[in-house]
Every structure is written in C-alpha cells, then in structure tokens.
A = this chain, B = another copy of it.
Amino acid sequence: MALLESAAVGEGSRIWAFSHVLPGARIGRDANICDHVFIENDVEVGDRVTIKCGVQLWDGVRIEDDVFVGPNVTFSNDPFPRSKQRPETFVQTRVRQGASIGSGATLRPGVTIGARALVMDGAVVSRDVPPNAIVAGNPAHITGYVDTPHVDLPGQVSSATRAVALPADSLPQLSVARATLHRLPKIVDLRGALSFGEIGSHLPFQPQRFFMVYDVPSREVRGEHAHRACHQFLVCVKGSVGIVVDDGQHRDEILLDSARLGLHIPPMVWGIQYQFSPDAVLLVLASDTYSAEDYIRNYDEFLAAVKEAKAAAGAQA
C-alpha cells in the first residue's frame, strides 16, 4: 500500500503503508519509514534513521545517520511563500547525526539541528539548535544539554536534596578536569559587600583583557566557543547564569549565582553561556588581548582540534 518511486533505498530499510517516496530520494540502510510519510525528491536520509507516521520530508531536507523523527513532526518546505520580506532562495534543513525530534515538533525551513541534540515534543524550532542541546517550547529555547550533570554547589537549591551536604567552603571537582571552580573572598560590612580575586591566590593567570556581559534581554543562549590559547575567568557579580563546559569528552553545567564563585575555563575547553537572569552581570577576565584566530566557534572544528591535539600528544609520548 506504499508508493515507492525511488530505487535508492538501502538494505534493511522498511517503508510502511500509505507512504510515498518520490524518485529522487535517497534512503540509507536499516531505516524505518512508517505509515503516511511523504518524501520528496531532493532528500537524503541516513542509516538507521526512524521516520514515524505523518511526517513529510521536502526537497532540501538532510537527515543524517541515527536520527529519530517522531510522529507528526512537521518540516517546512517553502520559506514564506508570497511574502516579499523573506528570500525565496532554496534552503537546506539538516538534522545532524544522532539527533532526536520529539512528537509533533515543527521545524522552520533552513534550521540545523545539531548532533545528538534533543527537540522536545511540540517544540517550534525557528533557529539552529547547537550540538547536544535540549530545546522545548514555542518558540523553542534551550533548557539543558544531554548527558551533562548539574554541578552541585554548596548553598544552591539543587544541593538541598543531597543526602550529604558539602562542607560550605569546599568546591567540587568538575568532570571537565581542566576547568576549575574557585572560591573568592567576600567582605560584607555596613558599607556593603566586596568580592575580589588576585593573581597568585584566585586568578590562575594574569588578565590582559576584561569584558562584562549585562542587559541580556532573554534567557536564550548568549554564545558558545572555545579558545586555542586564551584562558578565561568568569564571575557572575549580579544575578545568575548557566555555564556549560565541555572538553570533547565530558560536560558539566554550573550555575554561577554568587560573586564568591569564579570559574576558570582553560584553552581547548568549549564554553556555553545561557539562562542569564534579567539582572545578570557577568565579568570575564581573559589572559590575552583579542585575537580572532584564537576563537573556535564551530563545535565540529573544536572536536577535530581536540582529536588532533590528543593525537599529537600521543605521538610525543
């Protein structure tokens, strides 16, 4: 009961009832195309992909290996037909390796869902989703990262549920071993509060640059990148911000919510800032002056550089 017009369907793949695959579509091995699916011509579907019922894949859609697309997920094909405000240019919508699209989610044309990302049921995705991110809502926003433990800090709500409280002055070891948390001194008297850090005690490098992030209008991601050589030291002076650190192997999420807390992000650690509270003021000290070449802004490139560095280290050993 299916209309299979394409010959490019990999071994082990199944096409279910009432589905329709146009001649130009290419489908990998061991894919599972359920009932009532429609697949246009300029479409590529990878190996081990599941497309549940009621989904359409339009020209320009690229589904990489090991992706799951839930039932009634909607891809958009035409970007705003007839509106002069948007270009009618042909766009590619891409779901990267290992990502999952939850039931009933909608994807705007042209977005990329990052590798291993998780789109929650019913989410309406209008911007690219970073690798490993979890998104939900309409419009979709990032609510967390997959396989990323929230670091339990003394005094924070999450730690209230721990069986054994951390000693008030100890700070936990992170999974990303090279990134470190630092307790900063804080002096409170009748004149107010004062926190500080200095070289030799709390600051693991000598800063050559500082910047402050503030007036962030939403809780959306503000930025993510790694540095090749530059160290950074983050303190959230007011409000709070979530930081994810990632060395290519492990990830940690830390809620910076106290001026007494410093976070050292060394080179070759991917850092993500998001979930700024409305009043957040984030201070960043950097070990080097600005250099565009020092930034790695693409996560794939970051993973490749990590691999390369490890290989080089192995060769040396």
A interface with B by C-beta (< 8 Å) = 1, 3, 17-18, 20, 34-36, 38, 50, 52-54, 56, 58, 66, 68, 70-72, 74-78, 80-85, 98, 100, 102-104, 106-108, 116, 118, 120-122, 124, 126, 136-139, 146-147, 157, 160-161, 188-201, 203, 206-217, 220-223, 235, 237-238, 259, 276, 279, 281, 283, 285-286, 289-290
On whether the beta carbons of B3 and A3 are closer than 8 Å, the reply is: no
Which residues from chain B contact A206 at a C-beta distance below 8 Å? 206-208
On whether the beta carbons of B208 and A80 are closer than 8 Å, the reply is: no
Which residues from chain B contact A35 at a C-beta distance below 8 Å? 20, 38, 56
On whether the beta carbons of B103 and A74 are closer than 8 Å, the reply is: yes
**Shortest 8 CB-CB contacts between residues of A and residues of B:** A122-B124, A196-B211, A192-B216, A104-B106, A74-B104, A198-B209, A76-B103, A106-B122
Which residues from chain B contact A106 at a C-beta distance below 8 Å? 72, 103-104, 121-122
On whether the beta carbons of B214 and A237 are closer than 8 Å, the reply is: yes
In the bound assembly, the distance between CA atoms of A195 and B34 in angstroms comes to 52
On whether the beta carbons of B118 and A80 are closer than 8 Å, the reply is: yes
On whether the beta carbons of A237 and B281 are closer than 8 Å, the reply is: yes
Which residues from chain B contact A221 at a C-beta distance below 8 Å? 191
Which residues from chain B contact A281 at a C-beta distance below 8 Å? 237-238, 281
Nearest B-chain residue to A209, judged by Cβ: B198
In the bound assembly, the distance between CA atoms of A162 and B12 in angstroms comes to 55
Which residues from chain B contact A147 at a C-beta distance below 8 Å? 83-85
On whether the beta carbons of A220 and B191 are closer than 8 Å, the reply is: yes
Which residues from chain B contact A217 at a C-beta distance below 8 Å? 190-192
On whether the beta carbons of B209 and A188 are closer than 8 Å, the reply is: no
Which residues from chain B contact A203 at a C-beta distance below 8 Å? 208-210
CB distance from A218 to the nearest CB of B (A): 8
On whether the beta carbons of A289 and B80 are closer than 8 Å, the reply is: no
On whether the beta carbons of B194 and A146 are closer than 8 Å, the reply is: no
Which residues from chain B contact A3 at a C-beta distance below 8 Å? 1, 17-18
CB distance from A97 to the nearest CB of B (A): 11
Within 8 Å by CB of A53, from B56, B108, B208, B209, lies B56
On whether the beta carbons of B71 and A71 are closer than 8 Å, the reply is: no
On whether the beta carbons of B121 and A210 are closer than 8 Å, the reply is: no
Q: Beyond A20-B17, A81-B100, A118-B80, is A213–B198 a contact (Cβ under 8 Å)?
A: no
